[in-house]
């Protein structure tokens, strides 16, 4: 049936051939060097290749390039020639490397921007790890690194309205964010049956797991979580991304004593310039302007993070209710109070930051950068 992303690839790489003529190499260069291609007669011809952004260039008398975003790549052992990097379906381009070290550098860099076609060659699925929702786990066959694997069947991508477009957006956004407090997308794999997003594995579980085990966090622990969470959100907003579903389940923490957090799951994320007409998020965490179907900005993430901080400090939700509709109504009214035993002993500064983050009026709501400079989060 062919790649589910064929239309996207055709849009970026019009024409029948692999290459198109380019005026010059554009964007920051990731890698460059001499790689080899084998002629029909078996001779190796050297090309100066450049990987810049999502573009692979061959630079000579003229510069030609191909956008790799929706091209399939794979690797194979080619006898005495060593590792071969195959680009495009039916191996439109096969490149060889001057050394094993160069082969590893190039294949790893290319996999981060292209579609990989050899998941089971690279990874072994782990049956002793419990799958969470659609996320499974696997182990890199070479270095034994455990990764998280989020799978979408090609059937659902072709038949469920909106599913394919949401996946495209999730991949595009995940590829453009790079920060220690944001989950790292390692590679995207495509087969005839499914598309698999391979991401870094954080062994400590979610903030929800941590909260269920502890009931609530002491202020120092909550500070550590809030600082790393806000750093991740600040990075997203700097690169023009709105997550739209910050919640306990979408924040992972390390298994160590550290409570440094990592934001995951960009299934509802959008770019800053995209249409914002959709009401989305999780009841109890949603910024009120979203529920009121008003115009909104990136500060919806700050509101959701404020709810997370409220729950970390008190062990309870600011908008409890017996039903989802009751929770949504309280969420929409956005009356944040500090009633209950969970708030006994919590400092005034901590409460102040919660209020600044859950301010009902987005114009008055604090930004991520300003929140990081709040007195409660500054070193004492």
86 token code pair: 């195959």
201 token code pair: 């594995």
109 token code pair: 């860099």
User: Alpha helices of the chain — where are they, by DSSP H?
Assistant: 6-12, 100-111, 119-122, 154-159, 163-176, 207-214, 219-238, 288-291, 300-314, 324-333, 348-357, 368-372
User: How far, in Å, CA of 287 to CA of 366, rounded?
Assistant: 13
Query: In whole angstroms, how far apart are CA 109 and each of 8, 70, 103, 175, 264?
Result: 21, 15, 10, 12, 22
**Phi/psi of residue 124, nearest 5 degrees:** -115, 125
User: How far, in Å, CA of 287 to CA of 305, rounded?
Assistant: 10
Of the residues 118, 128, 143, 245, which is catalytic? Answer: 245
Question: 294-304: buried (b, 16+ CB within 10 Å) or exposed (e) per residue?
Answer: eebbbbbbbbb
Among this protein's residues, is 9 annotated catalytic? no
Which residues does 71 contact at the CB level (< 8 Å), separation at least 6? 9, 13, 87, 88, 114, 115
Active-site positions read 245
């Amino acid at each position: 049936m062919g790649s589910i992303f064929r239309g996207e690839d055709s849009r970026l790489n019009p024409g029948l051939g692999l290459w198109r003529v380019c005026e010059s190499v554009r964007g920051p260069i990731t890698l460059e060097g001499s790689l080899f291609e084998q002629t029909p007669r078996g001779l190796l011809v050297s090309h100066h290749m450049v990987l810049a952004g999502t573009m692979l260039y061959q630079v000579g008398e003229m510069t030609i390039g191909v956008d790799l975003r929706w091209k399939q790549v794979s690797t194979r052992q080619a006898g005495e020639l060593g590792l071969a990097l195959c680009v495009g379906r039916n191996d439109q381009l096969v490149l060889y490397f001057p050394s094993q070290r160069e082969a590893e550098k190039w294949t790893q860099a290319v996999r981060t921007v292209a579609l990989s076609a050899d998941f089971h060659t690279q990874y072994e699925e782990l049956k002793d790890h419990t799958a969470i929702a659609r996320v499974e786990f696997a182990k890199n066959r070479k270095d034994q690194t455990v990764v998280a694997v989020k799978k979408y069947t090609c059937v659902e991508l072709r038949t469920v309205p909106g599913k394919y477009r949401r996946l495209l957006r999730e991949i595009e956004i995940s590829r453009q964010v790079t920060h220690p407090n944001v989950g790292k997308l390692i590679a995207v794999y495509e087969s005839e049956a499914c598309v698999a997003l391979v991401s870094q594995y954080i062994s400590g579980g979610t903030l929800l797991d941590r909260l269920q085990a502890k009931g609530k966090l002491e202020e120092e622990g909550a500070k550590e979580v809030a600082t790393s969470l806000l750093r991740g959100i600040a990075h997203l907003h700097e690169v023009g991304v709105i997550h739209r579903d910050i919640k306990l389940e979408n924040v992972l923490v390390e298994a160590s004593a550290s409570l440094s957090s990592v934001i995951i799951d960009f299934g509802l994320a959008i770019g800053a310039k995209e249409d914002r007409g959709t009401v989305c998020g999780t009841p109890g965490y949603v910024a009120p302007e979203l529920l009121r179907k008003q115009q909104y900005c990136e500060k919806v993430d700050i509101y959701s993070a404020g709810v997370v901080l409220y729950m970390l400090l008190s062990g309870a939700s600011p908008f409890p209710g017996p039903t989802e509709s009751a929770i949504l109504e309280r969420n929409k009214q956005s009356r944040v109070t500090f009633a209950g035993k969970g708030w006994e002993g919590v400092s005034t500064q901590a409460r102040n930051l919660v209020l600044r983050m859950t301010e009902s009026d987005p114009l008055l709501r604090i930004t991520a950068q300003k929140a990081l400079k709040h007195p409660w989060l500054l070193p004492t």
